[in-house]
Structure 1
Amino acid sequence: MTTWNHRACVETSNRNLTLRHKRTGARRQITENQYQTPYHRRTGAYEDQLSCGYLCLITLQTSNVDPDLGPGAQLTSITHVDKKLQISCKCLPKPTSCRDVVSTHDRIVVTLASGLEVMCDTKTDGGGWIIFQRRIHGDVDFYKNWQEYRDGFGDYNIGEFYLGNENIFNLTSSRKYELRFDLEYENKKYFAHYSDFQLLDENNKYKLVIGSYSGNAGDSMRRHVNKFFTTFDKDNDDSQNDNCAIIRRGAWWYQDCADVNLNGNWGWGAPNGAFWDNITVWESVSFSEIKIREID
């Protein structure tokens, strides 16, 4: 997957006021100019909110510090000396999960200590969510094969992606997680929360395990509990005669076939739209995020 060209690194107290930086080789270096950063409507981020990361890199020389993206580094002070900036930094370890990430941005891409690059939701219900599926306008085709869903696909810069079932399995196999769906339809917002969430491994066909439901979206996922993941080239659903991924033009934990099809054809209706039955029946939602968060 590709990432945003302009990553948020260190934030000042004024979210619009940042330090300018430039690339020096593979890393970014700081210049002494301040400027008003432009706002990117597509990503919801302020461009180039910047970085002591390079200073951490040359100071610590350790792979456990992220030189490009906070909280690998935090800005502690900025002072003017003869119209030049004096920059003070402190270096922090890479986050182990999105719960370690604090940002004024609602969404931020970080590299975890494990090396996995994820988009964090830092605001919803207290933040700390790893987003593993996101669709906002349909620019990324989600009609993918088994390997692509296993490994992940999409573009953080575009804002649409799937993190990958193997990555989700690795996350949920070692710690307990909760699951949340955030959806929009006809200018209204909906959510569904599940108290537990786990994907089993590839040998178990990424079987879906979820807990009890709460929210205002309706419990449409109940039909899909304990079902296996199906793609157009790997039929693991309960249908005797058909591959539900082909019928629904998506990939999901299909039964025979679906009350939820959020990886279906974006903007379409029956029978293969990106729907959530209790909200849209057969119509597509206009926004979809699926996210997980560690449980203490």
Structure 2
Amino acid sequence: MTPHSSQLCPRYFHKHPASDSCREEVARLREQETLLKGQLQTQETLLHRLQLPNQPGKEDKARPDQSLDIEYTDCSQLFSSGCESSGFYSIKPHGSPFPLRVYCDMSDGGGWTVIQRRINGTESFNRSWAEYKDGFGDKNAEFWLGNDNLHYITAQGNYSLRINLGDFDGNQRYAEYKNFQVANEKDHYRLAFGSYVGTAGDALSGSYQVGASEWASHQGIKFSTHDQDNDNYKGNCAQEDNGGWWFNKCHSAHLNGMYYPNGHYSALTDNGVVWYTWRGWWYSLKTSSMKLRSMDFKMDPIDDPNAVHHRPTS
């Protein structure tokens, strides 16, 4: 049994997938309206209490509804509070001006906040800086949660990033990084991450061969889009590789690339959905998802005999 009723979980239910931006905007405005109504009711109740005469020994019955004040900062808090079903929830990370509608993945130990998903190529990821800043796509299908939101979440403490990958033959792999962090926009959403464990290979660090990390590592790299070039390459990686990402000169991992429906592809550049240490540069993956979880989250350890562990090089 869970310690809280499911009615306390700030869930979102959909009978049909919300596939257009209007529905996303309506959902966001409703979230904001609910929050403001709760804040207004709380303030009115507090004002009423201040206006009452001080009567020691008598319980004040005009208390605000405490459930209105519950704000979860990520999906791991929700899971720990008894919300153990995968689905859409409302969270409000510290620093975020509004609540966020997010998909919480309660598999793989539970408590994961999904920040990216690729499944079928229905969404273009060759987007502008502004679109990557705010987020885009359909959270029922393919989407990017938004770089501002990645920063708000990871600035709250220490977070793990888990990446789940799938190819067109039904094979699946994963990569998990400790201490994943995304800086603010002023620092161009610079990426930082710690030790690796997984079965997909450590593509983010570029440590798979001597000398590769100089040009292939994503450690400490700024985010780039086709209209804002922050990479270390003389050209524009985001423009050549058709998507926003943390490009060095250019990449050994690029999960926001062009979607190719058959896996193997040929192009002028390695612009597919790429995780080099698993399927190489010239194979575009069928599925990917990126998700975050607080490292303070308590869970039973999952023993994977196939997992490889790497510590970041100094």
Same fold (TM over 0.5): yes
The AA in structure 2 aligned to 1:160 is: E
Alpha-carbon distance change, 148 to 190 in structure 1, aligned in 2, over 3 angstroms: same
Please report how far the alpha carbon of residue 229 of structure 1 lies from its aligned counterpart in structure 2 after TM superposition. Answer: 0.5
Please report how far the alpha carbon of residue 97 of structure 1 lies from its aligned counterpart in structure 2 after TM superposition. Answer: 1.6
> Aligned residue for 1:81?
none
Gaps of 5+ in 2: 19-36, 42-65, 94-98, 206-216, 297-314
Aligned ranges 1:240-279 → 2 under 5 Å: 240=234, 242-267=235-260, 269-270=265-266, 271-279=270-278
Match of 2:184 among 180, 201, 204: 201
C-alpha distance in structure 1 between counterparts of 2:245 and 2:15, whole Å: 35
Larger % of strand: which? Answer: 1
Could you tell me whether the CA contact under 8 Å between 1:181 and 1:192 is conserved in 2? yes
* Cα distance per residue 1:125-181 (max 9 Å; x no partner): x11111111111111111101010011001123x21101001111111121111111
Give the percent of matched residue pairs that are identical in Structure 1 and Structure 2: 36
- TM-score normalised by L of structure 2: 0.64
Please report how far the alpha carbon of residue 113 of structure 1 lies from its aligned counterpart in structure 2 after TM superposition. Answer: 4.0
1:237 aligned onto 2:236: no
C-alpha distance in structure 1 between counterparts of 2:111 and 2:40, whole Å: 20
C-alpha distance in structure 2 between counterparts of 1:117 and 1:175, whole Å: 20
Match of 2:222 among 228, 238, 243: 228
Please report how far the alpha carbon of residue 212 of structure 1 lies from its aligned counterpart in structure 2 after TM superposition. Answer: 0.8
Could you tell me whether the CA contact under 8 Å between 1:101 and 1:122 is conserved in 2? no
Corresponding residue SS for 2:38 = coil
1:154 aligned onto 2:151: no
> Aligned residue for 1:57?
none
Match of 1:181 among 148, 157, 163: 163
> Aligned residue for 2:38?
62
C-alpha distance in structure 2 between counterparts of 1:184 and 1:277, whole Å: 13
Alpha-carbon distance change, 39 to 153 in structure 1, aligned in 2, over 3 angstroms: closer
The AA in structure 1 aligned to 2:127 is: K
Please report how far the alpha carbon of residue 251 of structure 1 lies from its aligned counterpart in structure 2 after TM superposition. Answer: 1.2
C-alpha distance in structure 1 between counterparts of 2:189 and 2:92, whole Å: 24
Larger % of helix: which? Answer: 2
The AA in structure 2 aligned to 1:163 is: L
1:289 aligned onto 2:289: yes
C-alpha distance in structure 2 between counterparts of 1:64 and 1:243, whole Å: 48
> Aligned residue for 1:17?
none
Corresponding residue SS for 1:174 = coil
> Aligned residue for 1:117?
101
Gaps of 5+ in 1: 1-8, 12-27, 29-37, 43-60, 66-89
Q: How large is the Cα RMSD of the aligned pairs?
A: 3.1
Could you tell me whether the CA contact under 8 Å between 1:64 and 1:113 is conserved in 2? no
Please report how far the alpha carbon of residue 284 of structure 1 lies from its aligned counterpart in structure 2 after TM superposition. Answer: 1.0
C-alpha distance in structure 2 between counterparts of 1:113 and 1:260, whole Å: 30
C-alpha distance in structure 1 between counterparts of 2:75 and 2:84, whole Å: 14
C-alpha distance in structure 2 between counterparts of 1:64 and 1:181, whole Å: 40
Match of 1:131 among 111, 114, 134: 114
C-alpha distance in structure 1 between counterparts of 2:143 and 2:40, whole Å: 26
Please report how far the alpha carbon of residue 200 of structure 1 lies from its aligned counterpart in structure 2 after TM superposition. Answer: 0.9
Alpha-carbon distance change, 293 to 253 in structure 1, aligned in 2, over 3 angstroms: same
Corresponding residue SS for 1:181 = strand
